[in-house]
Amino acid sequence: MASSQFTNGRQLATRSGGLNANVAGYGSPVESMCTSSAELTLLPVRAIALGFALLALAGCSAGQRRDAVASTATAFVSALQGGDGTAACRLLTPDAEQSVSGATDTPCDKAIVSIDEKGTAVAGVQVWGDAAQVHIGNDVLFLRRISGTWRVSSAGCHPQPKGPYDCEVTG
């Protein structure tokens, strides 16, 4: 709560925290909001502790994102290996699902099982915001986060000597 008082003909505003500010803009300097030198000493310690806490939270969320991406990639490859085209198609982005059917008008669940994915061992996961890359089995998958859910946007991808990956499914 602010109150006013007059000192040497100048109006000062006083806050309940002990802060006196010269409203007229001249005169005595603003007093520190900290009441002791011990509190001033603790400020850098508190800032460092806050920084470590934020780093820990960022690390946890990054790990959780990588886990979610790896889980989606593993489920997709497992569905393909098990011949479950319906489950595999549910894990695709809408554009990738259209890409699978292509010009042949073959339903996604029938066309997707032709992709040859071997192995479900995840060798590496990289996440960049809402995009991710997973090295799984003998291939690379690319994923996108759509409405908070990771979906496969490209599958059956192999690196090319010069240029982008060559993918059987793109989207």
Please report the pLDDT score of residue 72 as a whole number.
95
Distances (CA, A) of 9 to 19, 56, 134, 170: 19, 53, 72, 77
54 domain residue, yes or no: no
Claim to verify: residue 147 and residue 102 sit in the same structural domain: yes
Which of helix, strand or coil describes residue 3? strand
Claim to verify: residue 94 and residue 135 sit in the same structural domain: yes
Length of the chain in terms of residues written:
171
Domain count, the chain: 2
Claim to verify: residue 87 and residue 7 sit in the same structural domain: no
14: which strand partners? 3, 20
* Pair type for strands 131-136 and 166-169: unpaired
40 domain residue, yes or no: no
Please report the pLDDT score of residue 70 as a whole number.
94
Please report the pLDDT score of residue 38 as a whole number.
52
Please report the pLDDT score of residue 112 as a whole number.
92
Claim to verify: residue 18 and residue 98 sit in the same structural domain: no
Please report the pLDDT score of residue 137 as a whole number.
84
Claim to verify: residue 21 and residue 79 sit in the same structural domain: no
* Token pair of 127 as six digits: 């996440």
Claim to verify: residue 142 and residue 69 sit in the same structural domain: yes
Claim to verify: residue 27 and residue 69 sit in the same structural domain: no
- Structural domain of residue 14, as residue ranges? 1-33
Claim to verify: residue 21 and residue 102 sit in the same structural domain: no
pTM: 0.63
145 domain residue, yes or no: yes
Provide the residue-wise pLDDT of the chain in tens; the chain has 171 residues: 444 444 444 444 433 444 344 444 444 443 434 444 554 455 454 545 454 444 444 444 678 889 999 999 999 999 999 999 999 999 999 999 999 988 678 899 999 988 888 788 898 999 999 999 999 988 899 999 999 999 999 999 988 998 889 998 888
CATH number, domain of 88, equals: 3.10.450
83 domain residue, yes or no: yes
